[in-house]
Chain A
């Protein structure tokens, strides 16, 4: 059984919470005591139906205000796959939350209200999904029941969507499904009202999307996370480099280079508690031992000798700003990249992006909460990185405000 992580994107009344509630309810992932609690709460609030959205609103303030504040994670499983849903709210701080949910997702569900078609919000959601490199997009055209389940409504929205999405990310895996989250059409069960649609329910797509190619399997990347030195009699001279494989395959006998030092060596073993392995690949956590006694510490990167990562102190990156305090040009921030901690200074802002029109604004370059921009920064020590489009792990970074310790930006290296 494989694990698929997906996120949901939709505007306020697109029926996102209802869709998730429907997926959980129809796949029998909601328990009786949860259902009872939601029934009680629905009655208390005077709603006529069971409010499926209440399954996902976890905090007191959310239930009181009827809104979702923060990313929540939901789980369900079918005999074929286990699913993790990053449920991102549509109201406040939307970009920040969607970026968070999208950062680890294999797939994104983009919800469109069949009555409204493709709107500005749809552009924003699609752009963020593309920016965060989500490999698979599932466009759900919802509320088909309110449009009499007409095929031409679906076809026209699908054509509109394809027209703009093909400009943002050509070649993207994109699927379209007409649904009614409220009535359950094409979510888990095939719709009896839309016999003209035969390409499978939402759950069918979630269960069958191929996800094994979502990692970079070509270039060997191993950020060293922790050095294991048992200092015991049995393992007196043992020195292991623990980490999670970020790209490619690692085997005993592979020639490797350590960055940034450039020292070369060879892998002796890929160790785990259950014994040595013949091969490690993303996203496995393992421990490598090397032939030579070299100086390696947390933050270094072990790669193959062939395709080595770029190495530089000057980084150009797309960022999503996530803090109330605007970005300070020439300001200093702490920066995390893989397992490495450095400091950096913001040297220049290339442009701020209007993500509805995709217009690059080069005049007014103030960067505030939820803004997306391209910036240049300089780090105190060189980073070993790949473009984000090649590797989502070695191509991403976060910025931290050194006075508040808050995470203020997500970066996708260009």
Chain B
């Protein structure tokens, strides 16, 4: 019994960590612009598929990963520069639809250049499972969890300690006032897309040895990451991480104790419940403004 539970816990935390990184990507762009970037999942696809393709071209794994992340960052910045920025003063909804278009475009490119088949990235440090109280933990799961922890710490440092990070928070808090101290919201949005793309690509490549990767993994991962962000409270970084881990755990527990047929329904039932009963999410930003 305990070993079952541990097994579900490990697998839930692993997928949850991936969802958390996707949700953080959503959060960063949302805070900079109130846009939901539905191309977020494609960054994971580029991370995973890019690594496969660069490795197949003869690059050592580490270099292939770096190149794939760089490719995702370029794609992210290109979306901002050539699609979002070109739309000028458009409202949020058209911008969101633009990101859906961008995601279809990226997926189409990937299908065209990289094909439709599934690919496996080799595990970074072997496939020998670790046995803990009767449950098995893949070393790759530790990579996934570890990279999430490191990225979260790096992000916290970035937002709390650097001027660019503070500028991003300032735009989220009050775009008008941010412009009055000389911050360019365009620059902040570009930075947000670059950061989100990097987070997504790293998440994608870390998970790829466990889940396999293909041109279309971005759809489901993107949607689930979005659910995680809404679950935690859109705009809250802490909520994104908590929402991601919670979602991963609920999925794994449902798959384990009920039936894996229902696994993919969990996020969508969950998000409906949250929107009905807690529209602000579990950790939704509470306004500190005083008039």
Binding between chains A and B:
no
On A, residues with C-beta under 8 Å from B are: none
On B, residues with C-beta under 8 Å from A are: none
